[in-house]
Structure 1
């Protein structure tokens, strides 16, 4: 039986991926570096800090990592605040409300920064539904490292065997499984080139899920 659902955010709750992509590629242009779509797809699920640590080493960038992160974040924040058509992904609010009404605990575990998480929570009034908001910037390694999900499970009111993760990225699914958690892969059109085959279940729309269906899932634990 599932008593806690751990949500990723980007590509699962809200479609911020195009905003991130815009911000990253504006900054890549500014830095004068080339990043192919296939390489960029591998950044999905990783924190901005870890992405720039990788890019700094690969391209021998002179700027400190935190300076690179802030420059990209500035591009993102401006685009986020100016984007009028940014909406929650279809069906996710209904699922969140259904889970909450059935007393299933919700935890957010996102590679996004605290500032981005706060922006999303404020814009869509979602904070009251979640018991904890966890940012990947607080961990030295990003997904696929399982640390963020291990921490989320440790904060849960339920044991890890009664926790479930919803993820849209290959890195996120790998992290959830490495943490020993049941994982539902969300095959999002906004997160292309993601291999979700190692998820326990893959869905294409949140209408496929409900509090009743999730609660009834039996995990190996």
Structure 2
């Protein structure tokens, strides 16, 4: 199974503590590309309009990469969207882990969270995971699923992003074909044991495992 990691330009304070030790391949979007290079990580691809870094910094990135530089041709897509598109079309991963997609500007956060609602990206939704210091966000298309508890996470949230009927079979707070007509976060649920089961009939569902912030 091939996993590609993508670093975008969100605050470094939200990174997992072990980000620099994660194995590649890595792709950087805009400022995320420069941050990879500064960590000593050689990206296989960099993507963006590079408006958040200086020409000298961009030259540093170009000298360090092991693959393609893809310059965003317009403002119809965000850097993250173009990076996700380029990764799936050129690298064909089984999984894509996105870092640096949370925190900072709320418009960027929402664009990243809602990326999979675009029909162009939706078929890739089950392969995409957003990861930060406190959260793991996975996306699901209609069906029945088993999810395994992450050792470092306490809480479990189910976030219907589109209308659906959602069943939580064996979580701490169960639901039975609950109708969701608009986006809502069924927050602060928890596993009972090490696995949970859920199902839904239409739309896209985000499932978040999370923990409280550490001081």
Which category of TM-score, normalised to the shorter sequence, fits these structures? 0.3 to 0.5
How high is the TM-score relative to the length of structure 2?
0.38
- The TM-score with structure 1 as length reference comes to 0.38
- Relative contact order, CA 8 A, sep 6+: which one is greater? 1
Greater Rg by CA: 2
Normalized per residue, which structure has more helix? 1
